[in-house]
Amino acid sequence: MGAVRPASTRDLLDGGRSVSLERCDGGWFEAERSDLEPGDRRHLFDLDGEVEPHRLALSAGGRPRPVRGGRPPVRLDGLEWRNRPLREHVIYELHVGTFTGAGTFDGVIEAIPHLVELGVTAIELMPVAQFPGRHNWGYDGVDLYAVQNSYGGPEGLARLVDSCHRSGLAVFLDVVYNHLGPEGNYLRQFGPYFTDRYRTPWGEAVNLDGPGSDQVRSFFAHNALMWTDQFHLDGLRLDAVHAMFDHSASPFLAELADAVHTMAEEQGRRVHLIAESSSNDPRLVRGRDAGGYGLDGAWNDDFHHALHVALADR
C-alpha cells in the first residue's frame, strides 16, 4: 500500500480497529498484519486525521461492496498452463456484463464450449477493475486492484481463468492506465497520481514523468503484475497508450514490458502485452535492443475505422 501523505495516515480495519502505518522511503506507508484471513474487510483509510471510510485501498484483493467499501484479501490457485505465441491466437473480445444473461464470470464459464466451438483460442475481457454500478463498459474504473464485485469478484475471475485454461483457451484482460473514472476516484488524495501538465479526453493525465512519478509508475506496473501473476492472465490489452504522456528518459511502457516479461520468463510462462494506440508508432513493438518498448503487439484502430466506413457507408 502506498501514499505520499503525512505520517498521520492510518489503515482503518472493520470493527473500529486501527493500525498505524509507518513511513517508508519514496513516500510509501506500510503495516504488516498476520491475523487477516480471506474475506476480512480491510484497508479503509484515515487521511490526515480525518476518518474517510469510503477511501480506496491501494493493494491487491477483491471488494465485498461497490467503490466506496473495503476490500478483502484473497488467495488464488491456478493450473499449469502454456500460452500460445501471439501470432497463433484468434482473440474474442467480450463484455462480462452483457455476454450472457447472468452478466457474471460464471456466466462466461457456461459459454466456454460455445467459444471453443467458434474456433477462438483466447478471450479478451473488457475492463473488470471495480467501477460504479452493476454493469458498465469498464473504462471508468476507479479501483484498479479490485475485481468488479457484481461480476463475481476475484474468486469468480479466478474460476473463469482456470476454466478457460482447462478448455484450452487463453485469457486476456483490457486494462486502463491512462485515466480513472470520475465517480469514486479518490486516488489523487493518496499522492501525485495525476498531473495538469497534460490533458486527456478524460481530464488530467496520469503522472508518469513529473515529481513523485517513480511511485506512480510502480503502482501501475505492479497492477499489471497482479493481473498476470496472481490471476494467471495470459496477456493485457493496454488501453489508449497515446494518452499516457511520458517524456522521461526511461519510458514507462518499456518498464512495464520488462517487468511483466521478466516475471513470465521466471515462471516459464508466455504473457503478451498489446497496446492500443492511434499513433501507429513502431517503437511500441520494436525490441528493447532496437530502442523500442518491447511490447508484443499493437491494436490497429485503422482497421476498425476502415471497416466501420465500409459496413456503415459513413
The x, y and z cell numbers of residue 81, run together, are 498452463
Q: What spatial distance separates the first Cα and last Cα of the chain, rounded to whole Å?
A: 48
Residue 278 C-beta-side C-alpha neighbours within 13 Å = 5
Task: Name which of 124, 121, 86, 119 is nearest 108 in CA terms.
Answer: 124
The neighbouring-strand residues paired with 271 are none
Q: How far apart are CA 123 and CA 196, in angstroms?
A: 36
Burial class (CB in 10 A: 0-12, 13-18, 19+), 3: buried
* Angle between the N-to-C axes of helices 252-266 and 213-225, in degrees from 0 to 180, rounded to the nearest 10: 40
Q: Any idea which residues carry the catalytic annotation?
A: 239, 276
- Beta strand 44-47 with 29-30 is unpaired
At 226, is the secondary structure helix, strand, or coil?
Answer: helix
Task: Name which of 263, 258, 261, 265 is nearest 293 in CA terms.
Answer: 258
Q: What letters, b where the CB count within 10 A reaches 16 and e where it falls short, cover 185-213?
A: bbbeebbebbbeebebebebbbbbbbeeb
